[in-house]
Structure 1
Amino acid sequence: MTADSPATPRDDNSGGEPAPKYQCIRCTGPFAAVPETSLGRPPGPQGYHLEAVKPGIFWISAGGYDTMFIVTEQGVIVIDAPPALRSMLVPAIQSVTSQPVTHVIYSHSHFDHIGAADIYPADAVRIAQENTATTLQQYQDHRRPLPTITFVEEHTLEVGGSRLELRYRGNIHQPGNIFIYESRQKVLMLVDVIFPGWVPFRNLAVANDVHEYLRAHDLVLTYDFDVMVCGHLTRHGTRADVETQREYVQQLRTASRKALATVRIEEVATRTGTENIWALMNGYFEDAVDAVTRDMLTTPTSDGRLWTERLGGADVWTPHHAFSMIQALRVENPD
């Protein structure tokens, strides 16, 4: 097994009952069945699913990417423009209102979420956190027009009776990634942090700072919301989804700390020798990732089920999450 590959199961005959085995996979499977609670509405014949999650607030999903827009009496506020929805966003908006898009909010600078922002009117007001604006200024990508309004920590947008609170709360995914909150109807949008019904995207959602990413789960739960739009997958989220993912990453952190305390590089050296340092370190990481993956996939969770029974993709990406967590703990050594 490499640090980026699922572990190979092995029996533990150290006494008592053998440890339960987890099913390892390669890119071709076999994969654990996706829990029913992870599945959402499939795209319709037009290629997307459109749903009014609250009066005037619409969620749109193409199956792997999603976003939302808000229809007001003074225009439409839209958040992001995933290229996966390039041909669908404007028709979807026009299917429910004749109001023009007047405001565009960028959740962050990543192309897979705002790479089709050129579909909106050129005179629309575009709002982003200053880190996002700086990054886009460097890219000079016509598909991601520069924001016209930027802010450092907070910005409130009020249009036609809708009030959106935009807030930057640190490097929880990449610098500039913001919370977007419609407080009157209790709708929260935060992209690339929570993955409703699934484990996070590979390597803890490629978070720029793993420890800030973990903290984000607690920050999300400080908001009073009952609908959450997360940027990915086939359904919008709930508070329960956030609590479940928080349990997963916290258990991952605990298991990774345990592995760092118990996996001995001296024992690895008996297999690899010490001359080839990279072989030695690779063996060390393999053993640590294997230990964390075994712990995560064989230990019952708070409701008695395994993670493969609660979150889609737990068997696929837990080894990758384990590597990222081990690295963050080993290199940064936080309290």
Structure 2
Amino acid sequence: MTSSSPSENDLPDYVPVPEAAFGPALNEQGYFVGRVERNLFWVTDGTYQSAFLATPDGVVLFDAPPTIGHNLRRAVDEVAAAEGIGNTVTHLVYSHHHADHAGAANLFGDDIVRIGHTETRRLLLRDNDATRPAPEVTFEDRYTLQVGGERVELAYHGPNHSPDNIYLHFPDHDALMLIDVVNAGWVPIYNLNLSEDVPGYIGAPDQAMDYPWKHFIGGHLGRLGTRDDLVLHQQYIADIVDSAHAALASVDPTPYFSKYGANAWAGVGGYLDAVTAEAAAPVIAKYTGVLAAADVPAFTTSTTFSILQSIRLDLGTGSQVHP
């Protein structure tokens, strides 16, 4: 019986990850916990991120990714012991409802206050996942969380990555948390980080830059972000948008529909694949070695496809009108 799995020698090679994309080394238990500012800390397993405020009245946790899992408890205990404060988690704030950022929420028991957007509550009740209890405290537009003399400003500026993704501003810690939009030092993975609202996703960094902050917690990979990281991300997305417009204007759909005739979907597929490849190629070339994984074709290509479709469907560009 033969295996269909490729050998290592069959897999493609990519350029080395730029040093600037890496974060601090993980400990032997597979996590890193570090200070953002004062009593705001962040935790990473190299792929996902969480954060917490250590206050005299309890610990406030922001997201609970299952890949970090019980290491969240270990990180809180580590900081509490070093800071000489209590380690009881009293509050948990959901950035949004997705399981990859909230699937360890049940590890902290039923006696904590869970906070999230009203849409987060609706979606979690719909999903009925025991690992992600729905928040009891909800808000529509803005909410100020105050615990132990500390404050966090939560705000909803409309859908972006998900219908319920919120901005978490720590004004006294010079930090902003916005999940699944910008991966500091890296390109987005498939389809703009699997985002549901393309115009909202593209506009989200502008909203983020309107806040005053120095430290950015983006939810993924191994280091904190900076304002320069958001500027680079915006340039990358803007280049895809410009290249997509140019490809829509230059690629002729006629050969694909002439070739495939009655097989309309084959014509559509051939044309859209050609436009996507034309638009993605210069962006991949420009950002390879600048943003990690820019040369992984599926990522920039799928993100370009999503942006192309938004340009067509949301903006109406490239839609041919029958004469």
User: Same-fold call, TM > 0.5?
Assistant: yes
Is 1:69–1:79's contact at 8 Å kept on the other side of the alignment? Answer: yes
Q: Distance in 1 between matches of 2:249 and 2:151?
A: 49
Is 2:257–2:268's contact at 8 Å kept on the other side of the alignment? Answer: no
SS class of match (1:310): coil
Which one of 64, 72, 77 corresponds to residue 47 of structure 2? 64
Q: Distance in 2 between matches of 1:99 and 1:87?
A: 14
Q: Distance in 1 between matches of 2:301 and 2:128?
A: 36
Q: Percent identity?
A: 35
Which residue number in structure 1 is paired with residue 144 of structure 2? 156
Q: Distance in 1 between matches of 2:159 and 2:248?
A: 25
In structure 2, runs of 5+ residues without a counterpart are: 1-9, 81-85, 318-323
Is 2:239–2:283's contact at 8 Å kept on the other side of the alignment? Answer: yes
Which one of 220, 234, 254 corresponds to residue 232 of structure 1? 220
Is 1:116–1:143's contact at 8 Å kept on the other side of the alignment? Answer: yes
Q: Distance in 2 between matches of 1:130 and 1:313?
A: 35
Which residue number in structure 1 is paired with residue 291 of structure 2? 311
Which residue number in structure 1 is paired with residue 283 of structure 2? 296
Q: Are the structure 2 counterparts of residues 334 and 269 from structure 1 closer, same or farther at C-alpha, using a change threshold of 3 Å?
A: closer
Q: Distance in 2 between matches of 1:311 and 1:121?
A: 39
- Equivalenced residue count is 302
Deviations 1:79-121 (A, max 9, x none): 1111001120111101121231111100000000001101113
Q: Distance in 1 between matches of 2:72 and 2:255?
A: 56
Which residue number in structure 2 is paired with residue 127 of structure 1? 115
Deviations 1:201-227 (A, max 9, x none): 211111111111101011111011111
Which residue number in structure 2 is paired with residue 281 of structure 1? 268
Question: How much does 1:188 deviate?
Answer: 0.6
Is 1:66–1:231's contact at 8 Å kept on the other side of the alignment? Answer: yes
Deviations 1:267-296 (A, max 9, x none): 3335x3322111111110121111112221
Q: Distance in 2 between matches of 1:54 and 1:171?
A: 29
Cα root mean square deviation, aligned: 1.5
Q: Distance in 2 between matches of 1:203 and 1:81?
A: 23
Is 1:73–1:99's contact at 8 Å kept on the other side of the alignment? Answer: no
Is 1:101–1:121's contact at 8 Å kept on the other side of the alignment? Answer: no
Is 2:217–2:224's contact at 8 Å kept on the other side of the alignment? Answer: yes
Q: Are the structure 2 counterparts of residues 273 and 46 from structure 1 closer, same or farther at C-alpha, using a change threshold of 3 Å?
A: closer
Q: Which amino acid aligns with 2:131?
A: R
Which one of 235, 239, 243 corresponds to residue 247 of structure 1? 235
Which residue number in structure 2 is paired with residue 5 of structure 1? none
The alignment status of 1:326 with 2:314, answered yes or no, reads no
TM-score (norm 1): 0.87
SS class of match (2:14): coil
Question: How much does 1:189 deviate?
Answer: 0.5
Q: Which amino acid aligns with 1:88?
A: N
Q: Distance in 2 between matches of 1:52 and 1:156?
A: 22
Which residue number in structure 1 is paired with residue 32 of structure 2? 49
Q: Which has the higher contact order (CA 8 A, sep 6+)?
A: 1
Deviations 1:52-96 (A, max 9, x none): 111111111011111100101111110111100112011110112
Which residue number in structure 1 is paired with residue 208 of structure 2? 220
Is 1:115–1:143's contact at 8 Å kept on the other side of the alignment? Answer: yes
Is 1:198–1:311's contact at 8 Å kept on the other side of the alignment? Answer: yes
SS class of match (2:67): helix
Deviations 1:220-254 (A, max 9, x none): 11011111111111111110110100000011011
Is 1:260–1:330's contact at 8 Å kept on the other side of the alignment? Answer: no
Which residue number in structure 1 is paired with residue 183 of structure 2? 195
SS class of match (1:45): coil
In structure 1, runs of 5+ residues without a counterpart are: 1-26, 299-305
Q: Distance in 1 between matches of 2:292 and 2:316?
A: 29
Q: Distance in 1 between matches of 2:11 and 2:21?
A: 20
